[in-house]
């Protein structure tokens, strides 16, 4: 930092100094790292944050700050693509800057979770069930269960819950009575940790769950899309690159059917005509096909073979399985 910058910084109030230092830190992180994970830190304590920082040391840095300052930095930065992050700068959030494997870094961040007790008014992250069986409470607490409409019985001097109870539903606020019951039973039903919701990678923004896709999942989705495109193209008679192999295959089958039904022969149809003219060769081919389960037995009559070949096969949408360009 230049001497005049030091003088300017020293002349600022402590509040402005903090803003200036944070601004410089955010600019430096943007310049050094190309990828950003947008994190949410609701219900995450300082000790848990420190553990995540230590786990990421050498791979990434965690940067928290005031949302207003973050928005100001993104608007002032020369990289206009950063402004696309502005809608995500809200609530109790922060950033993880990195250049490494996004999937591995995300796993390191999210696997650090700690058990936590329920609190009144908290939005439940998961469903909470109280299992049937001994509760560990003395019979004097029976009225408490009755107030919650929970069926109980006394077994060996303790309250036993008759049926499993769905005490708290996910994405609903936790009631005070549910908190009281969990406290009496000494249960901590929730596990809180840092969540990664959004990824910024080389100027592109996408949901973090995209990282859960494997290479085979992506290939299956691509092939499924190609198969659907080919099917639509064939149905409306509009040629596309996806449908071209099927169109060529259908055209060849039509030509082959005409060749088999007439005396006209071309090079590609010669082997099929030889099969029909040589019963022994045809039987050998049928036996080989049956042994390998490659398909239905060949027709024994010229007209049947011609009809079977002439029947076009439409591209099938198998939901993303193996893709065969030639039907």
What integer best gives the mean pLDDT of the chain?
80
State the pLDDT at residue 313: 46
CATH number of 128-188: 3.90.105.20
State the pLDDT at residue 114: 83
For residue 82, report the phi and psi dihedrals to the nearest 5 degrees.
-65, -25
Q: Quick one: angle between helices 67-76 and 14-32, nearest 10?
A: 50
The reported pTM is: 0.58
State the pLDDT at residue 96: 92
Report pLDDT digits (tens) over 232-255. Answer: 988 888 888 888 888 888 888 888
> Strand 133-134's sheet: what is its strand order?
133-134, 158-161, 152-155
Cα angle 211, 45, 106 (rounded to 5 degrees) comes to 10
Q: What is the average per-residue pLDDT within 4-17?
A: 62
- Percent of the chain past pLDDT 90, that is, above it, reads 5
The three-state secondary structure class of 144 is helix
Count Cβ atoms below 10 Å from residue 269 Cβ, excluding itself.
Answer: 18
State the pLDDT at residue 38: 92
At 159, is the pLDDT very low, low, confident or very high (cuts 50, 70, 90)?
confident
What one-character-per-residue DSSP string does 259-302 give? HHHSS---GGGHHHHHHHH-HHHHHHHHHHHHHHT-SSPPPSSH
Beta bridge partners of 200: 36, 205
Domain ranges of the chain: 3-112+194-212, 128-188, 215-310
At 12, is the pLDDT very low, low, confident or very high (cuts 50, 70, 90)?
low
In this model, does residue 166 exceed pLDDT 80? yes
Taking the C-alpha atoms of residue 59 and residue 52, their distance in angstroms, rounded to an integer, is: 11
Q: What is the average per-residue pLDDT within 168-192?
A: 85
State the pLDDT at residue 304: 54
Of the candidate CATH numbers 3.40.50.1170, 3.30.70.1730, 3.40.50.300, 1.10.3720.10, the domain formed by 3-112+194-212 belongs to 3.30.70.1730
State the pLDDT at residue 199: 92
State the pLDDT at residue 11: 62
At 37, is the pLDDT very low, low, confident or very high (cuts 50, 70, 90)?
very high
Report pLDDT digits (tens) over 55-100. Answer: 998 889 999 988 888 998 888 888 888 888 899 998 889 999 998 8
Taking the C-alpha atoms of residue 27 and residue 223, their distance in angstroms, rounded to an integer, is: 42
At 9, is the pLDDT very low, low, confident or very high (cuts 50, 70, 90)?
low
Taking the C-alpha atoms of residue 139 and residue 159, their distance in angstroms, rounded to an integer, is: 6
Q: What is the average per-residue pLDDT within 29-50?
A: 88
Report pLDDT digits (tens) over 287-324. Answer: 887 877 544 444 445 555 445 444 444 444 444 444 44
Taking the C-alpha atoms of residue 203 and residue 81, their distance in angstroms, rounded to an integer, is: 6
Beta bridge partners of 34: none
């Amino acid at each position: 930092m230049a001497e005049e910058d030091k003088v300017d910084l020293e002349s600022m109030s402590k509040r402005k100094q903090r803003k200036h230092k944070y601004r410089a830190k955010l600019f430096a992180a943007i310049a050094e790292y190309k990828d950003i994970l947008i994190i949410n830190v609701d219900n995450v304590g300082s000790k848990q944050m420190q553990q995540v920082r230590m786990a990421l040391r050498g791979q990434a840095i965690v940067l928290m700050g005031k949302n207003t300052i973050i928005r100001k930095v993104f608007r002032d930065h020369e990289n206009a693509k950063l402004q696309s992050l502005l809608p995500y700068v809200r609530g109790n959030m922060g950033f993880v800057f990195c250049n490494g494997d996004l999937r591995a870094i995300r796993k390191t961040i999210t696997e650090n979770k700690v058990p936590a007790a329920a609190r009144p008014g908290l939005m439940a992250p998961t469903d909470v069930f109280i299992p049937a069986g001994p509760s560990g409470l003395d019979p004097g607490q029976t009225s408490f269960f009755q107030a919650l409409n929970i069926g109980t019985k006394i077994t060996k001097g303790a309250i036993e819950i008759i049926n499993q109870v769905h005490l708290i539903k996910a994405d609903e606020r936790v009631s005070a009575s549910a908190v009281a019951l969990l406290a009496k039973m000494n249960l901590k039903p929730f596990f809180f940790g840092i969540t990664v919701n959004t990824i910024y990678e080389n100027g592109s923004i996408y949901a973090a769950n995209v990282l859960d896709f494997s290479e085979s999942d992506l290939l299956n989705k691509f092939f499924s899309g190609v198969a659907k495109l080919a099917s639509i193209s064939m149905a409306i008679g509009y040629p596309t690159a996806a449908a071209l192999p099927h169109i060529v295959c259908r055209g060849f089958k039509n030509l082959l059917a005409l060749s088999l039904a007439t005396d006209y022969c071309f090079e590609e149809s010669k082997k099929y005509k030889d099969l029909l003219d040589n019963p022994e060769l045809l039987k050998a081919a049928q036996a080989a096909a049956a042994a390998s389960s490659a398909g239905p037995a060949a027709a024994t009559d010229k007209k049947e073979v011609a009809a079977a070949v002439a029947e076009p096969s439409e591209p099938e949408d198998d939901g993303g399985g193996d893709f065969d360009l030639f039907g």
